[in-house]
Structure formats: structure tokens, C-alpha cells
Amino acid sequence: MAHFSVDVLTPNKVLATNIQAESLLIPTSSGQINILRDHTHLVTKLEIGPLTIFGGPDEPDRSFVVTKGICKVMKHKVVILTHVGNESSNIDVDRAKASLDNAQNVLKTENLSPYEFEEATHKVERARLRIHLGETYKGKIK
């Protein structure tokens, strides 16, 4: 099979390295794109969303929540650099629900600056995605 290698990194930790992938779906500022082996070289901005790595018949599929960052595609290697990320299998759904409640309460606050409003909106979006992926993953292993 035609595989390539994927690394998923944050400033604070390495989420995954050298994952063998057949294809990859990444959330970009232009929409979701599919990466296959020998994809043209590319550097693109990431947006908050699910990152799915399809391992093919010999490797399991893996999914992550990623936030803003960049994706660098080279001939046989893809590097995802994200500000914040979690693998679906490591998501604490209860913590994500608490984060969602907290962010929604912040949005109810009057006189938020544009920056505070945008930050709280991103936290709501990220928490909802974490809840969805975390619950989906937990449902698969039952």
C-alpha cells in the first residue's frame, strides 16, 4: 500500500509521530482537504476541526481535535502543528462539557471586547467538537 508518515504536534507535547497513513482529512481555513501519498507540497492554515488519519487495512484510523495552526505537506511526510490538540481516545468528555458551560457563560457576559468574544466563541466550538469526538470514540469501544 502507498503510505506516508504523519506527525501531530503542539507547543507543549507530541500527540503522535510517524503514524502510517493512506489518507488524511484536515480542517483548513479553505475547508476540509484530503491528502494522499505524493500530494503536491503544501503549507496551509489549520482551523478548529477534526483531523482524521486513515491508516488503511493494516493500521487503525485515528482522529484528533485540532485548533488553529499549520499543516505542512511534503512528498512522504505531513506535519501538523496545532496550538491545542487532543486525540479522540484521550478526550475527557466531562471536562469538555464543563469547558462548554464555562465558555457559554462567558459569552453571556456583557461588554466583552471583540477579542474576548472571539476567544470564547472558539472555546465553545472546540468544546463541542471534543464532546462529539469523545462520545463517538467511547461509543465505538463499548
CB proximity list for 15: less than 8 A, separation 6 or greater: 8, 9, 64, 85, 86, 87
pLDDT digits (tens, 9 = 90+) for 55-81: 978 888 999 999 899 999 998 999 999
Give the fold, CATH level 3, of 91-141: 1.20.5
End-to-end CA distance of the chain: 30
Domains 4-88 and 91-141 share a fold: no
CATH architecture of 4-88: Sandwich (2.60)
Q: Over 80: is that where the pLDDT of 107 sits? A: yes
pLDDT digits (tens, 9 = 90+) for 113-142: 999 999 899 899 989 988 988 888 665 544
pLDDT digits (tens, 9 = 90+) for 29-60: 889 999 998 888 999 999 989 999 999 788 88
* Domain residue ranges of the chain, discontinuous segments joined by +: 4-88, 91-141
> pLDDT class for 23, splitting at 50, 70, 90?
very high
* pLDDT at site 41: 93
